[in-house]
Structure 1
Amino acid sequence: MSFFFEVLLGGLLAGVMYSLIAIGFVLIYKASGVFNFAQGSMVLFAALTFVSLLERSVPFWGAFVFTLLIMLVLAWAIERFVLRQLVNRPPITLFMATLGLSYIIEGLAQAVWGAQVHGLDLGVSDEPFELGGMLLSQFDLFAAAVAGTLVVLLSLLFNKTRTGIALRAVADDQLAALAVGIRLHRLWLIVWAVAGVVGLVAGLLWGARLGVQFSLSLIVLKALPVLIIGGFTSIGGAIVGGLIIGASEKLAEVFIGPIIGGGIENWFPYVLAMLFLLVRPAGLFGERAIERV
């Protein structure tokens, strides 16, 4: 039984990191109603910028602050030169814009920093740590603590502040929000800036685990089942969905994998997502769309 809880807790710790990725999508979706395909490229760009600065002898916190400033400038540029021109356009137009941004950001990262693979050491070892008779990775505990703290702060920001209220208003109806004086451009800038910060933290955590390489941008695919289960419009849903995916994939790999073959961890989350699409398409906490004709 202790082994079961060890696997379960390890999956929950990984799930917190999945939630962090998913929240970046939720923020953009709530503000514009579109799936931000460029989130993975932002994660890669942030991680690649940070590790490249470290390799050029820039101190850790200096590299962190400089990378943060670059992500904020990137968010401003996206809002100013792309999103501002697409206000009130159909969601598919915004989606295609983020798809194009994804390739532009990846190409920019490669042009500036190169395409080689980098190792990233955050100073936290991956040695096992004993807790109540269970062995847990020290890095997993650290990453979950950092990701969990940021998730809580974001939840408070968008649920307890005027910005959060405005965000919910924009999510319901952009035209109505504009009519009552909500500055959509300013809100988009804030949301994309926060998404940039999330991308930086996620990039450092996942880059330290997987290495900083261009396949890091594909980490967005791990967020899809999380969003489907939790709901595209709920920060709380992203948290719950991440925990469900993290725990279920680890348990499936350990207890079901030996029966039907290895590698189940890679596709089992998508099985859960498909089941949710069939039973509850809006997710656990998503808002069901109601159309009147």
Structure 2
Amino acid sequence: MEFIHPILIKPFADMVSAPDFLVQVLWEGIVSGVLYALIALGFVLIFKSSRILNFAQGIMVVFAALTLVGLYERGVPAWLALPLTLGVMLVLAIGIERVVLRPLVNQPDIILFMATIGITMFLIGLGETIFGGENKRMITEELGIPTGNFIFEPFGGFVSIEQKDLTAVIGAVVLVVVLLLFLNKSKMGRAIRALGDDHQAALSVGISLSTIWVLVWFIAGIIALATGIVWGARAGVSFALEVIALKALPVLMLGGLESVSGAIIGGLMIGILEKVFEIYWGQPLLGGSTESWFAYVLALLVLLARPQGLFGEKIIERV
């Protein structure tokens, strides 16, 4: 993209200085941030319960979305394809626990991390074999997700909000609230928290490691499906979505690997700040394309000042 100083583009300068344009940018940042936070939640839940950094969370987003669309393309109604996809994610969670995780109990963390890379490669191959590698259309309307626009006219201008984005934000809020209630109020949720707080103590009081692992991987699958539906509605369903899922990594660096609230706040911070930086500084000064690297640079700066992240707990080891 050819660099042109903003002084030479008076209409663009007027546009970005308008309050309604700022509201539009902030809204786009919130939508992206909510999706980043959802992906990061999958990482956090699995890490809290098993100390595994799940590299496969990104491909789980793609695989869940491909399964949903693939079932519909094979003649399954959308209202039935959705629960069937959840069933596939449950079978996947059980398979991962039985075949991959159970034999690797008490192995070094790097072995478990490498195992999730193996899961990623397996799901990529399985997905390409079953569904193909071409971009597919997400069945947004078939799932009852509205696709129109709301137009608001604050400050004398206008702000456009896509109904599918608003639905995504509301759905994400509901999902997070339900997840927090489950973790804090239910027996299984307290077991997950206990396993994350003290692994050995939780096992000593009879908490089943295999049951908890299946549960958290299934919850991560539900989150992956929700994220895949929304991202698929915005950009289509393809293996390129896995790259977007990597944006959860700087979110985790900001929020900490064990903080649910940190994942949410970190996701919103990344989403909003990268959009604002891209529009107000990236395009006029750097020629654009800053969204691909801004989050990682921001996370690096935070880690230099606070290695455990903004919301992570400082680890003190006595020797």
Give the TM-score, by structure 1 length.
0.95
Amino acid at match of 1:229: L
Q: Gapped runs of 5+ residues in structure 1?
A: none
Q: Is the 8 A contact 1:14 1:140 kept in 2?
A: no
Amino acid at match of 1:223: A
Separation of aligned partners in 2, 1:14 and 1:42: 18
Does 1:284 find its partner at 2:318?
A: no
Q: Residue 232 of structure 1 aligns to a residue in which SS?
A: coil
- The answer for the alignment partner of 1:161 in structure 2 is 186
User: Which shows bigger deviation, 157-166 or 4-13?
Assistant: 157-166
Q: Is the 8 A contact 1:88 1:174 kept in 2?
A: no
Does 1:88 find its partner at 2:100?
A: no
Q: Is the 8 A contact 2:36 2:245 kept in 1?
A: no
User: Which shows bigger deviation, 151-160 or 194-203?
Assistant: 151-160
- The answer for the alignment partner of 2:66 in structure 1 is 48
Separation of aligned partners in 2, 1:165 and 1:265: 38
Separation of aligned partners in 1, 2:160 and 2:288: 22
Amino acid at match of 1:90: P
Separation of aligned partners in 1, 2:95 and 2:256: 29
Amino acid at match of 1:244: M
Give the TM-score, by structure 2 length.
0.87
Q: Is the 8 A contact 1:15 1:247 kept in 2?
A: yes
* Structure 2 counterparts to residues 30-69 of structure 1, below 5 A: 30-69=48-87
Separation of aligned partners in 2, 1:135 and 1:208: 17
Q: Shift in Å at residue 99 of structure 1?
A: 0.7
RMSD over aligned CA atoms reads 1.5
- The answer for the alignment partner of 1:22 in structure 2 is 40
Does 1:129 find its partner at 2:147?
A: no
Structure 1 residues 160 and 281 mapped into 2: Cα distance closer, same or farther (>3 Å)?
Answer: farther
Amino acid at match of 1:241: G
Structure 1 residues 203 and 136 mapped into 2: Cα distance closer, same or farther (>3 Å)?
Answer: same
Amino acid at match of 1:288: K
- The answer for the alignment partner of 2:88 in structure 1 is 70
Q: Shift in Å at residue 125 of structure 1?
A: 5.6
Q: Residue 4 of structure 1 aligns to a residue in which SS?
A: helix
Q: Residue 129 of structure 1 aligns to a residue in which SS?
A: strand
Q: Residue 135 of structure 1 aligns to a residue in which SS?
A: strand
- The answer for the alignment partner of 2:16 in structure 1 is none
Aligned residue pairs total: 293
- The answer for the alignment partner of 1:272 in structure 2 is 298
Q: Residue 293 of structure 2 aligns to a residue in which SS?
A: helix
Q: Shift in Å at residue 26 of structure 1?
A: 0.5
* Structure 2 counterparts to residues 109-124 of structure 1, below 5 A: 109-123=127-141, 124=145
Q: Shift in Å at residue 126 of structure 1?
A: 5.2
Separation of aligned partners in 2, 1:287 and 1:19: 19
Counterpart among 155, 172, 175 of residue 147 in structure 1: 172
Does 1:209 find its partner at 2:234?
A: yes
Separation of aligned partners in 1, 2:289 and 2:237: 23
Separation of aligned partners in 2, 1:245 and 1:286: 17
User: Which shows bigger deviation, 212-221 or 93-102?
Assistant: 212-221
Q: Shift in Å at residue 159 of structure 1?
A: 2.6
Larger radius of gyration: 2
- The answer for the alignment partner of 2:245 in structure 1 is 220
- The answer for the alignment partner of 1:238 in structure 2 is 263
Q: Gapped runs of 5+ residues in structure 2?
A: 1-18
Amino acid at match of 2:48: K
Q: Shift in Å at residue 14 of structure 1?
A: 1.8
Q: Which runs of 4+ in 1 moved over 6 A?
A: none
Separation of aligned partners in 2, 1:28 and 1:10: 28
Q: Shift in Å at residue 252 of structure 1?
A: 0.7
Separation of aligned partners in 2, 1:2 and 1:284: 31
Separation of aligned partners in 1, 2:175 and 2:196: 22
